Amino acid sequence: MQPPQAISPDAGRPRLLVVEDDANLLRALRRGLELEGYAVDVAETGPTALAAATAAPYDAVVLDVMLPGIDGFEVCGTLRRRGRRMPVLMLTALTDVSDRIRGLDHGADDYLVKPFDFGELVARLRALTRRELAAGGGAPDLGDLRIDAAARVVTRGDRRIGLTARELAVLELLAARAGRVVTRAELLDRIWGTEYDGSPNVVDVYVGYLRRKLERPGGPPLIRTVRGVGFMLEPA
């Protein structure tokens, strides 16, 4: 029997890193973005932002320019040099065109000048994450595997497959990246949450559950293990 575990409330939600040294604005942004359906991590200095965005996967970063320690320009530039390609939306009180150009030259994807309308921020984030999905080739072809996350229904061919909430969350993340490796660390972080302190082997356990339920005896594997890295759902 599978052990009962509480699923992370952030599972399946787009994950943002919001970097801002104004504590009041940071609280307001976090609260508003969480109400919009995002999972939000925060940082208040350049070094902590750089460490967080280097170590963890984010769907987008909202990055203030004027930060203690390292400014937002350098944070963004360093992330790009390290190969981190998540969309970056820079926030700044600087209004000169030269400053906006500097941000874009450091690898920012978009720029929003303070004070800004929160609705515009959300719209720009939606546009950036849509653009990222399109750049990755859009929704992958999963063959006869169908996932209706809203109805919590998974089918393969004409067979309906019963999954637990945790199994479904793991499958959704693998399916969203079909054809690309998802690391164990990312699965653990996104599905179980940052507060989980149990064995990281729990990821392998749940991938095993999915294989037994989804793969056909004698058929090709649906989920491939990439040794020492993670797992990949094979596209059709």
Which pTM does this prediction carry?
A: 0.58
List per-residue pLDDT tens for the chain, 236 residues long: 344 444 455 555 788 999 999 999 999 999 999 988 888 999 999 999 999 888 777 889 999 999 999 999 999 999 888 878 889 999 988 766 677 777 788 888 888 888 889 999 998 888 887 665 544 444 456 788 888 765 678 898 888 999 888 888 888 888 877 888 888 888 887 778 766 777 878 999 999 999 999 988 888 889 999 888 889 998 75
Q: Tell me the helix, strand and coil percentages in the chain, rounded to 5.
A: 40, 20, 40
Where b means 16+ CB within 10 Å and e means fewer, 65-100 reads bbbeebbbbebbbbbeeeebebbbbbbbebeeeebb
What's the rounded Cα separation, in Å, for the pair 18 and 26? Answer: 8
State the DSSP H helix or E strand holding residue 14, giving kind and residue range, or none if neither. Answer: none
* CA separation, residue 230 to residues 127, 180, 224 (Å): 29, 10, 9
**223 DSSP β-pair partners:** 233
